[in-house]
Amino acid sequence: MKQRLICPLLAATALWAALGGGATPASAAIRVVIDAGSTTQVFYSSGDAIGYFTTTLGNFDVAIGSALTNFTTQSQSGASLGQSLLISDAGGAALPTLTVTTSVINAVGGVPDGLVTGGNIALVTGAGLARFTLPNAADLVVGSDIDGNSNLATGTIRNNTTVNGSLVASLAIPIDGLGPDAQQTGIVSNNPAVGFTLVSQIVLTGASPGIMGSISASSNVSALVPEPGPLVLWGLGALGIVVAAARRRFTAPAAG
């Protein structure tokens, strides 16, 4: 069952960003690039969380978003990058495809948090992707999911999760959230000595003028746990036979 946690997640991550996201090292940074056809905006945060607000995004009247990653608290249990987005349009002109691409990047010195302008745009967009070092497995399980809620059923949403350049896309579902579960998983190769990159992209297509809606996307990475091989299974089976035989020998009644 899908959990409708879009608004609580947005509020929580926006508050986290507003409070500075705790004391996070400068090595963690988030870049958000919003593309609305004829308009592109870039936002930056030097921590694990970001919150943004814009009223100048082309034909979309309002876009409020946030993102949160566990880069500085990464562990063997997995890596994550989540996005939340609220959009509003007063109606009238047709709406273009909207993409919100959030990347965990190397920190860029001297760039303030928030909307990126002037010469800082090239610095932020040119920054390399940061690399998670945990989980340090050779094969990774990548999960990509998205959910939505809106006043109109027209429009589809999808989450493109990219790890080490390999795309794992969720299903494309209606933005009103009444479609099927969108989650998809894939296996991506990794060099544990180098680490892996993580990018999440929300894609909204075919939205009708006058739409008001919320979107929540999640991208998760965990270590692939290999299944036991044939020799291991054979060995376990043989061990079971030996144990059963020994048990029968010790429980067999003595001969009269």
Asked whether residue 232 is assigned to any structural domain, the reply reads no
pLDDT surpassing 50 at residue 105: yes
Report if residue 18 sits inside a domain: yes
**Contact between residue 120 and residue 240 where contact means Cβ atoms under 8 Å apart:** no
Give residue-wise pLDDT tens across range 132-153.
999 999 999 999 999 999 998 8
Q: Tell me whether residue 173 is in a domain.
A: yes
The answer to whether position 252 is within a domain reads no
The domain in which residue 74 lies consists of 6-226
Residues 82 and 49: beta-carbon distance below 8 Å: no
Check residues 219 and 94 and name the one with the higher pLDDT. 219
Beta carbons of 89 and 27 less than 8 angstroms apart? no
- Judge whether 235 lies within some domain: no
Higher per-residue confidence, 237 vs 98: 98
Rounded to whole angstroms, the Cα distance separating 8 from 150 reads 16
Q: How confident is the model at residue 104 (pLDDT cuts 50, 70, 90)?
A: very high
In a domain, 181, yes or no: yes
| pLDDT at 92 (0 to 100) | 82
Q: Taking the model in full, what pTM does it have?
A: 0.81
Each residue of 170-215: pLDDT tens digit? 999 999 988 889 999 999 999 999 999 999 999 999 999 999 999 9
- Strand order across the 139-150 sheet: 49-54, 62-69, 79-88, 212-223, 139-150, 184-189
Task: Give 19 or 229, the one with higher predicted confidence.
Answer: 229
User: Is residue 123 assigned to a domain?
Assistant: yes
- Judge whether 243 lies within some domain: no
End-to-end CA distance of the chain: 63
Domain tally, the chain: 1
